[in-house]
Amino acid sequence: MTPGELITPSVRLVKPIGRGGMGTVWLAEHLVLDTRVVVKLMSEGLENRADVLARFAREAMIAAQVKSPHVVQVFDSGTSTSGTPFIVMELLEGKDLGKWLLEHGPMPAHELVPIMIQIAKALSKAHRVGVVHRDIKPENIFLMETEGGEPFVKLLDFGTAKVKKEGVSSTDTGQVLGTPLYMSPEQILGEKEVDHRTDVWSLGVVAFEALTGRVPFEAATMAGLALAIHSEPPTLTSLRPELPRALDEWFARVCARDVAARFQSVRDAADAFVRATTGAPMAEPFESIAIRPITPRPQRVAAPALRSTLPKPGEESKRVNMAFGIVVAAAVAVGGIIVATSSSRSSSAAQDAPAATTTTAAATTPVPAPEPPKAPEPVQTVTEKAPPKPNPPMTKGPRAQAVKLAKPARPSLPAPSSPPAKPAAADDDLEKLSNIPQPGPPPKEEKKEEKAPPPEIPAE
């Protein structure tokens, strides 16, 4: 491959940036996404080996299936036009843990805490889907730089990973894959039943090297490494006395030769490491300590703004008094309007009363021939406006009309010395014609007579 060559119609190689056991790593440009990516290409001559092709394809598949922010993201995989297998991954900015240790030396224990938690998060997600990494080492732990200065971990290289689903394993008995210095005893022996607890061992070896600058078990050959593992291991405090004593107990358990004596999950191992280092358990939920301290707390920020909107002492009672005064003033205004309206209505009724009396008097003067059809209309209108009387008039028949005409006319008649005698005689005749006895019954009987209508007398 040469710079400028297209791996796919949208991915163009820029320059090589590294080399591994199965191939080379290139910096490339993604023409569609307009961003830079990393392309891993298989070395020439290995494309004819079925086992290498299977591992290469499995690496892309596992990285895509283990959906974790702490696992490198895979964009594409396949075979180029020239027949070279490739994997397109995200470009990471930073350095792996191996280079960091070479530049800075052993790491303080409190700085290793967030790194251990994030590695455990990535491995825990892989173990949940049936994937055992089997190659945990500082070179496969990438430390990305963040704006806050805390490292963000990405787990790399699932090429030697073991996939176990429904009892079917991807490797055979006797096959040894991985980096020997970080392998568990069962992985060195090539046992078939190698499970996720081999990653627990490797995590302990990585932590030992990060804290002391050296690996706990060293040898030139695989046989010598096996003897070193079965001998008495060194302690952390013997190499760094300033470390907590609880870390010695933690390392003895995380790298226990007996699989059943080890931590049974990477989460338990990470939690025990946090307890031994800080004296406190790992926070829930299972998250990175490097991210937790910068979590904003909107409640405390918003509190001053809420306090400024509260009323001052005594101001609330003033507002209540002002509201009460407004309500009282509105009630007084409404009462004045009602009184003015009622007085105007009474004055208009008083003005209409004399006119009604005059009309009644004028109606009573012509007595000679009664005209029933014409008389009821003005009389009914007048009686509705007239003030109430102790004995209400009748509502039906000619007699009722005559009685209604006679009653309102009495107050307007002159004194007995006045000359008009005909209207008085006419009133007397009407009273005789009404034929209603006036025995002076009690008030209750008068009310009964008001309810029961009297018999009608035909007009003469």
Q: 394 is written with which tokens?
A: 């009748």
258: pLDDT strictly greater than 60? yes
Band (pLDDT 50/70/90 cuts) for residue 203 is very high
pLDDT at residue 433 tops 90: no
Domain membership flag for residue 329: no
What pTM value is reported for the model?
0.59
pLDDT band at 309 (very low <50, low <70, confident <90, very high): very low
Residue 213 forms part of a structural domain: yes
Say which range, 62-76, 223-237, 311-325, has the weakest mean pLDDT: 311-325
- Residue 230 scores a pLDDT above 80: yes
Residue 45's pLDDT band (boundaries 50, 70, 90)? confident
Whether 336 maps to a domain, the answer reads: no
Q: How far is CA 356 from CA 257, 348, 353, 379, 395, in A?
A: 125, 12, 5, 9, 18
**Cβ density class 189-218: b for 16+ within 10 Å, e for less:** eeeeebebbbbbbbbbbbbbbbbbeeebbe
Q: Which two tokens stand for residue 19?
A: 């080399």
Quote the CA–CA distance of 317 and 321 in Å, as a whole number. Answer: 6
- Can you give the pLDDT at residue 458? 52
**Three-state DSSP class for 23?**
strand
What would the mean pLDDT of 74-83 be, rounded to a whole number?
86
Q: What distance in Å separates the CA atoms of residue 209 and residue 52, rounded to the nearest whole number?
A: 30
What CATH number does residue 47 fall under? 3.30.200.20
Q: Are 201 and 218 in the same domain?
A: yes
State whether 120 and 184 are in the same domain: yes
- Are 87 and 99 members of one domain? no
Domain final position from 65, 91, 117? 91
- Name which residue leads in pLDDT, 389 or 67: 67
Q: What does the pLDDT look like over 137-187, one tens digit per residue?
A: 999 999 997 777 778 999 988 767 677 644 434 444 444 456 889 999 988
Q: What is the pLDDT of residue 401?
A: 47
pLDDT of res. 220: 84
Alpha-carbon gap, residue 266 to 264, rounded angstroms: 7
Secondary structure of the chain: what % helix, strand, coil (to 5)? Answer: 45, 15, 40
CA distance 439 to 134: 127
Strands 74-79 and 85-90 turn out to be antiparallel
Distance between start and end Cα atoms, the chain: 137
In a domain, 105, yes or no: yes
Q: pLDDT above 90 covers what percent of the chain?
A: 30
- Structure confidence by residue, pLDDT tens digits, 7-43: 999 999 999 988 876 788 999 999 998 999 999 988 8
Q: Are residues 217 and 106 part of one domain? A: yes
> Residue range 415-435: average pLDDT?
50
Confidence of residue 315 (pLDDT cuts 50, 70, 90): low
The pLDDT value given to residue 286:
52
Helix H or strand E encompassing 210: helix 197-212
**pLDDT of res. 65:** 80
Concatenated DSSP letters of 240-286: -TTS-THHHHHHHHHT-SSGGGS-SSHHHHHHHHHHHHHSSPPPTTT
Q: Provide the domain count of the chain.
A: 2
Q: Which of 125-129, 248-252, 305-309 has the highest mean pLDDT?
A: 248-252
277 within domain boundaries: yes
Instruction: Give the integer Cα–Cα distance in Å for 142 and 151.
Output: 9
Picking from 120-124, 135-139, 193-197, 337-341, which range would have the lowest pLDDT averaged per residue? Answer: 337-341
* Sequence-ordered list of residues with C-beta below 8 angstroms from that of 409, at least 6 positions apart, any chain: 357, 360, 361, 364, 423, 427
At 400, is the secondary structure helix, strand, or coil?
helix
Q: What's the pLDDT at 343?
A: 62
Q: Among residues 271, 291, 311, which one ends one of the domains?
A: 291
Ordered alpha helix ranges (H), 6-159: 50-65, 97-104, 109-128
pLDDT band at residue 434, thresholds of 50, 70 and 90?
A: low
Q: Which of 60-64, 430-434, 440-444 is predicted with the least confidence, judged by mean pLDDT? A: 430-434
Lowest average pLDDT, out of 9-13, 144-148, 355-359, 397-401, goes to 355-359
- Together in a domain, 86 and 70: yes
pLDDT of residue 178: 62
74/97 same-domain check: no
354 Cβ neighbours under 8 A, 6+ residues apart: none
Judge whether residue 112 has pLDDT over 90. yes
| Structure tokens given for 309 | 């909107």
* Residue 132 belongs to domain with CATH number: 1.10.510.10
Rounded Cα distance between 288 and 153, Å, is 10
pLDDT at 202: 95
Which of 135, 157, 199, 271 is the catalytic position?
135
**Domain limit, last residue, from 37, 59, 91:** 91
Are 116 and 230 in a shared domain?
yes
Q: Does 350 reside within a domain? A: no
Annotation marks residue 135 as catalytic: yes
What lies within 8 Å, CB to CB, of 177 at 6+ separation is 134, 135, 160, 171
Residues 13, 162: one domain? no
Tell whether 45 and 193 lie within a shared domain. no
Q: Assign 424 to helix, strand or coil.
A: helix
In the prediction, which pLDDT does 290 show?
A: 37
Distances in Å between the Cα of 183 and the Cα atoms of 106, 179, 199, 230 are: 21, 6, 8, 13
Residue 125 belongs to some domain of the structure? yes
Same domain, yes or no: 150 and 69: no
Residue 433 resides in a domain: no
Counting Cβ atoms within 10 Å, is residue 165 exposed (0-12), middle (13-18) or buried (19+)? exposed
| Banded pLDDT at 222 (limits 50, 70, 90) | confident
256 shares a domain with 132: yes
- 206 close to 162: Cβ distance less than 8 angstroms: no
Residues 84 and 160 in one domain: no
Domain span including residue 157: 93-291
Report which of residues 82 and 71 the model is more confident about: 71
pLDDT at residue 85 greater than cutoff 70? yes
Long-range contacts of 268-275 (CB under 8 A, 24+ apart): 269/120, 269/200, 269/203, 269/204, 270/116, 270/117, 270/119, 270/120, 270/203, 273/113, 273/116, 273/207, 273/247, 274/113, 274/116, 274/117, 275/246
